[in-house]
Structure 1
Amino acid sequence: MEQALEALQLCLKLLDSRSREELRRLLRFMAVAADPHEVRLHKEIENRMAVKRAFSRAIVHTKHLPKGKVDLLVLFMLDNHHDVFKIPSSLHKLVSEKLQDIVNGKDPDEMTGPGFCQRVTSKACRDSMQKTTEEELWALLRTIHDNPALSAKEKKRLLGQFYKGHPQIFVQYLGTRISTVDV
């Protein structure tokens, strides 16, 4: 329940403020209308189910979720309408740590909390791109050259195209064997 609530809080933080406020008002209205002690909305079903049925499509706009999951999500939001718009504790903790680091004079650009990538210099990035590109070009050239399923004519055509685009890799790969390949 806590993880679901936190995930929903984070998702709602991504909404623009106007949509978030409209949703907050709608959920508050739905919670009041769903109260079983209030006026009966429907003769045969309880208020909570009538409210869910009436407003589900206004809250969740997707055809990818089955109706049961949509109903569950709407009821969860309705039951937790007081808490879903609060700041998630994990986000609050990360922001507090970041502010504390700034107060302590640490670099504000330093990552606090979980990181999913690391910073690299532009030179390191270029070097990495160059190395990866060369490795993949070598793999492509090996695939063309060593593929027994390709006819000699097709290999010659593909190797010729490769030579036009990347002659230095071509020469490095074939070396002294270059005379045996017609390009």
Structure 2
Amino acid sequence: MNIKIEKLEQPTASIVEVMNRWENDGQLIPLVRRNRNEEELNKREQVTIEKVKQRLEKQHVYLIYLEDQLVGEINYAVDPHYLYKHEQGSVMLGITIGESEARGKGVGYQAIRQIENEVRRHGLKRVELGVFAFNKHARKLYKKLGYEEIGFIDNFTFWQGEMWRDIRMEKYINRNGSIC
């Protein structure tokens, strides 16, 4: 299985078309986007080249390829205000495996490992991420990768008629790649 990540520098119409499909996939929306109520959960967003360019001003975005097919994206922001634990040199990580045939095959695991190496190369020391409490598969993956729960935000996202927590997890990374 050949997995690679490539930094997104300049969005193209074909990339934006794929991102648009993921952003509006009813199965993905509850997993990757905060929804404050049922109306937001059912809302569809139009991804445009301009919107992706605006994201690139705040985030490092990488495209995930499996056997040369675009199957997801992984991104991080350096020291954003929305970190649970404000510690200089931290990144907030986000990942979407948009294509169903790429899920459950280790693509997310390998992509996160690759992005951790990228973060390390830039001299950053800590990765934080949020995962919705109902997303047991993602929580299991993050624990397997060495992430530990550090807290939560109650009533964060709406799904299946109720509000769910956002569980925050972290991992410290040192220069040689081991967990601190």
After TM superposition, the score normalised by the length of structure 2 is: 0.21
Q: Indicate the structure (1 or 2) with the bigger Cα radius of gyration.
A: 1
- Larger helix fraction of residues: 1
Whichever structure has more strand as a proportion of its residues is: 2
